[in-house]
Chains A and B, each alone.
Chain A
Amino acid sequence: SQQGEEDPQALSIQEGENATMNCSYKTSINNLQWYRQNSGRGLVHLILIRSNEREKHSGRLRVTLDTSKKSSSLLITASRAADTASYFCAPPPQGGKLIFGQGTELSVKP
């Protein structure tokens, strides 16, 4: 089964700064999803980017996808303390199994 590998494992920034997280995967995909997990809560879906899209925006989120490098990035602009969370990328499931990596733990300090 394929899983995304997020990098870095942890990221600490000041409020107002931008945060960039990266995701790599192994096999060809037709889309990739990003999720956020606030402490003690279930994951929440953020955005889905398709293989024919190189970039997608949602509010302060910008996601890019480079299928030739098998990588994606999530940029959060003008970060806020409320953005403190873990972020996971998820390639499509294989054989019904949607597998998550360890995520990037983002800490935004006020």
Chain B
Amino acid sequence: NAGVTQTPKFQVLKTGQSMTLQCAQDMNHEYMSWYRQDPGMGLRLIHYSVGAGITDQGEVPNGYNVSRSTTEDFPLRLLSAAPSQTSVYFCASSVEGGIHSPLHFGNGTRLTVT
């Protein structure tokens, strides 16, 4: 039981490049979400999904796309990376979105955009 797995752990991009951050969970959780965390700050919600085929925007969705074709996977796409997207990205999952049950977090992807 691996929990929530994020790949890659580290990534350096040049401005304008695109990439996909991967997130997979093996707990059969319906709810998955993406957060970004900047130095000295809390987590900000980017996008979330309450089940396969359903996604919605969080607090800071601009510059990011998501899709949810399976229960297990929730990739985050940066179409044209910008230095402002330098951050640590965390994926989380839970049974029902943290209403009565905890979120399980991955260990993050550290992204630098130069």
A59 at the interface (CB under 8 A from B): no
Which residue of B has the minimal Cβ distance to A10?
A: B40
From B35, B99, B108, A41 is in contact (CB under 8 Å) with B108
Q: Is the CB of B42 within 8 A of A101?
A: yes
Interface string of A31-48 (1 = CB under 8 A from B): 101010000111111001
Separation of A88 and B100 alpha carbons in the complex (Å): 16
A28 at the interface (CB under 8 A from B): no
Task: Count A/B pairs, Cβ under 8 Å.
Answer: 62
Separation of A99 and B98 alpha carbons in the complex (Å): 10
A102 at the interface (CB under 8 A from B): yes
Interface string of B68-107 (1 = CB under 8 A from A): 0000000000000000000000101000011110111111
Q: A47: shortest Cβ distance to chain B, in Å?
A: 9
In the complex, chain B residues whose CB is within 8 Å of the CB of A43? 43, 90, 92, 103, 105
Q: What is the interface of chain B, defined by CB distance below 8 A to chain A?
A: 4, 31, 33, 35, 40-43, 45, 48, 50, 56, 58-59, 90, 92, 97-100, 102-108
